Chains A and B, each alone.
Chain A
Amino acid sequence: MRILLVDDSATMRRIQKTQISNLGISDILEATDGEEALIVLKENMPIDIILLDWNMPVMDGMTFLKKVRSVAAYNDVKVVMCTSESEKSRVIEAMKEGVNNYIIKPFTPDSLKEKLGL
Chain B
Amino acid sequence: MDVSFVNPFIKALIDTFKTMLSTDTIPGKPQVKSGNKPTHDISGIIGLSGEAQGAIAISFPKIVALKVVSAMLGSSIKIIGPEIVDGIGEIANIVAGRAKQGLSQYKLTISLPNVIVGQNHAISPPSGIRAIIVPFDSSLGNFVMEISLKTK
Contacts and interface: CB of A to CB of B under 8 A. Distances in A.
Contacts of A8: 112
Given A11-B72, A106-B15, A88 B83 contact: no
Contacts of A57: 112
Nearest to A10: B86
Interface of B: 15-16, 19-20, 69, 72-74, 82-83, 86-87, 89-90, 93-101, 104, 110, 112
Nearest to B95: A84
Contacts, number: 66
Contacts of B101: 86-87, 104
Interface residues of A, number: 23
A85 B74 CA distance: 24
A107 B89 CA distance: 17
A55 B97 contact: yes
A85 B95 CA distance: 10
Contacts of A10: 82-83, 86
Contacts of B99: 86
A59 interface: no
Contact of A11 (B15, B83, B110, B112): B83
